[in-house]
Chains A and B, each alone.
Chain A
Amino acid sequence: MLDLAKYQSIGAALKDALGQFAGEICLIEADREREKERLRYREFQDRADPWARALQEAGFNANDRAAMIMTNQSKWLISAYAIFYCGGVLVPLDYKLTPEEQWQLLKHSSASVLVTEYPIWRQLTASPSRASATNLKTILVTEAPPRADLSGARRWEEFSSSGEPAFIPRQRKDVATIVYSSGTGGRPKGCMMTHENYLEQCVALTSIYPFAPGVRYLSILPTNHAIDFMVGFFGPFICGAAVVHLRTLRPEYVREAFPKYKITYVSLVPLVLKNLQKGLQARFDALPSAKRKLFNALVAVNKALTKSRPRLALSRRLLKQVHQAFGGELRAIIVGGAFTEPQTLQFFYDLGIPVANGYGLTEAGTAVTVNDLKPFRADTVGKPLPGMDVRILSPAADGVGEVSVRSKTVMSGYLNESELTAETIVNGWLMTGDLGRFDSTGHLQLFGRKKNMIVTEEGKNIYPEDVEAAFESLPVKESCIFAANYVWPQRTMVGEQLLLVLHLEQGQTLTDELRRDISARNNRLLNYKRVHGLVLFTEDFPRTASLKIKRNILAGRLAQQDRAAAILPL
């Protein structure tokens, strides 16, 4: 691994890594059963340099912003490397957003370059919102069919220029990326992450979960997500490890990839991990009685022998078939993006497959705490990573209060949102809005949220304000959306739901027609953004002088109703 203390920027570290590990495999890309590409670091550089040179010739300068909307693939990392090499700021956007949302963020970020895939570009060009992103100068599109109408874009594959690109150095405090943690509907939250944020986070994470040449990381979480950017790009690259990309994320191809590529690490969101658990449990349950008894006995032995720490070699021998299904070299599954239920973590640990769970948020530079497995504690989200100061603000009698974080990994602020930044980072401490407490051994336990938002099992942060636009013109007096647990705190991080609060006109009732209207609007939202219930409120919403809803006061009034009785199914 490179000594990152010596480096000022992501670009400088990656440049040296490509030289130091030139002969090692860095990328494998597969589409279904077909392997499309296998690159060594040297070949990666051969691809990236002409692209970086072309980018510079297109007028891309230091501190210019380049957005990326792509599924995980080699071209994502090659483009990102070139952008950092040129001293640019990377704006990785979620390819699952709607074209309108993507245009909104392209405009908000003032990106001058967009790198995307042809099918995504086709959808973007069909959207009337295109006119809004006036700053865009260069659009590069991958895998466009021959003779396709590129609508002003250029082909990624033909974007190349000979000659050495000039390396543009950046400083640690310079912004490296703008990562949108949420806010596509109302107020985009573009976290400005510095080079220092990534360099420090990488040192902390690799001290617990090391990468090295020969290690193969299966990149399934979108690379625009802070976790995969770190453990599916920057982390492995500065250690000479390899990243495996699958272009088709059907469960059967993901399953095949483990033994085929002898995967060492993978990151998953809780939803996928739970699905994996369900599949394995079904297979165990289907074993003939005698075999099942033997299997359960082996699991019990493994559990006893790994009580104080994981013993991978031993677990692989004891539970050979299970480990072979995962390729036989899996060291840990990294889970992130949302809270994972303890029983799921325990299920895998008992099989000898440690799950590296933790707690983090984009604003803090990915991970704040990580389970160090010494010993494994399924009931907590682990201990703070090296370099993280974590404290509990205003703890109640039981020790539960708001988690706040101070670290070199904390973002420099939200783009164009100084007021929001000042509310979020107070005297150098990041106010997470999450509720937690430390136990006697220094492990953090989480108990719900103080903030009005939900995180789905797929790792999506949903802020009610971002969903409200879908219900704006409903024929009612007024409406708004709340996270159910914000109104009625439940001290839980799972099963979170959004509620639509309606204040009907005088004499108006909740008719079937109105319900149909609400359902139709709800169904037009992406499935993870949908509301799950209705709450009727009979008074005017409390508002500020500028007519903004005073959400905390309204939540307090709603909370006077009984939760179960107040929530009407949609």
Chain B
Amino acid sequence: MRTIDQTTREVLTLASTHFKVPADSLAPDDDFFKKLDINSLQALELLSRLENHFGIELPDYEVQGVSDFRTLASRIQSRL
């Protein structure tokens, strides 16, 4: 079982790979819309990548209003 810190790190790594930004430029409390300069559709693409990686289904409502990596990671963690 992953710890929340591991999950958060994996979320950051996947986001940096998917949007081609340096991994060390992202921090757990960053607002991913702002930091990655992405819109709501691109955020949905990231969710699909995360679902595949973690082997879970994240209903759309679970991520409604979430905009920072830490909260996103905690929503994923609760479904692992």
B57 in complex: contacting residue of A32, A96, A523, CB < 8 Å: A32
B1 to chain A, nearest CB (A): 23
**Cβ of B28 to closest chain A Cβ, rounded Å:** 14
Q: For the complex, is B5 an interface residue (Cβ under 8 Å from A)? A: no
A120 within 8 Å of B by Cβ? yes
Given A96-B64, A98-B65, A527-B67, residue A251 in contact with residue B59 (CB < 8 A): no
Q: Is the CB of B39 within 8 A of A271?
A: yes
**B3-54 contacts to A (CB < 8 Å):** 31, 33-34, 39-41, 44-45, 47-48
* A275 at interface by CB-CB < 8 Å: yes
Interface residues of A in 416-467 (CB under 8 A from B): 457-458
Whether A251 and B45, one on each chain, are in contact in the complex, defined by CB atoms closer than 8 angstroms, is yes
Contact A248:B65 (CB < 8 A) given known A275-B41, A523-B31, A527-B40: no
Q: Answer whether A523 and B67 are a contact pair too, CB < 8 Å, given A71-B60, A117-B61, A248-B59.
A: yes
Check if B65 sits within 8 Å of A249, measured CB to CB.
no
Asked if A250 is an interface residue, CB under 8 A from chain B, the answer is yes
Q: Is A549 located at the chain interface by the 8 A CB criterion?
A: no
A64-97 at interface with B (beta carbon < 8 Å): 71, 95-96
Q: How large is the interface on A (under 10, 10 to 19, 20 to 34, 35 or more residues)?
A: 20 to 34
Q: Say which size band chain B's interface belongs to.
A: 10 to 19
Residues of A within 8 A of B31 (CB): 523, 527
Instruction: Name the residue on B nearest A118 (C-beta).
Output: B61
Report yes or no: A527 in contact with B33, Cβ–Cβ below 8 A.
yes
Which residues of chain A are within 8 angstroms of B33 by Cβ–Cβ distance? 527
Chain B contact residues: helix, strand, loop or mixed: helix
Q: Are A119 and B48 in contact (CB under 8 A)?
A: no
Q: Specify which of A95, A119, A250 lies most central, judged by the most chain B CB atoms within 10 Å of its CB.
A: A250
Say yes or no: A526-B65 contact (C-beta < 8 A), given A119-B59, A250-B47, A271-B41: yes
Please determine whether B64 and A250 come into contact, CB atoms closer than 8 angstroms.
Answer: no
Residue pair B61, A71 in contact (C-beta under 8 Å): yes
Q: How far is the CA of A32 from the CA of B48 in the complex (A)?
A: 11
Chain A residues with Cβ below 8 Å from B64 are 95-96, 119
Say yes or no: is A247 at the interface (Cβ < 8 Å to chain B): yes
Give the shortest distance, in Å, between A418 (CB) and chain B (any CB): 34
Partner of A119, one of B39, B45, B47, B62: B62
Does A523 lie within 8 Å of B44, measured CB to CB? no
Whole-angstrom distance from the CB of B55 to the nearest CB of chain A? 14
Known contacts A248-B59, A528-B40; 6 further A-B pairs (Cβ under 8 A): A96-B65, A117-B61, A251-B48, A271-B40, A271-B41, A457-B39
B residues in contact (CB < 8 Å) with A = 31, 33-34, 39-41, 44-45, 47-48, 57, 59-62, 64-65, 67
The 5 closest A-B CB pairs, nearest first, are: A527-B33, A119-B61, A523-B31, A275-B41, A250-B48
List 28 A–B pairs whose Cβ atoms lie within 8 Å, in order of A's numbering.
A32-B57, A95-B64, A96-B65, A98-B65, A117-B61, A119-B61, A120-B61, A248-B59, A248-B60, A249-B44, A250-B45, A250-B47, A251-B45, A251-B48, A252-B48, A271-B41, A272-B41, A275-B41, A457-B39, A458-B40, A523-B31, A523-B34, A523-B67, A526-B65, A527-B31, A527-B33, A527-B34, A530-B34
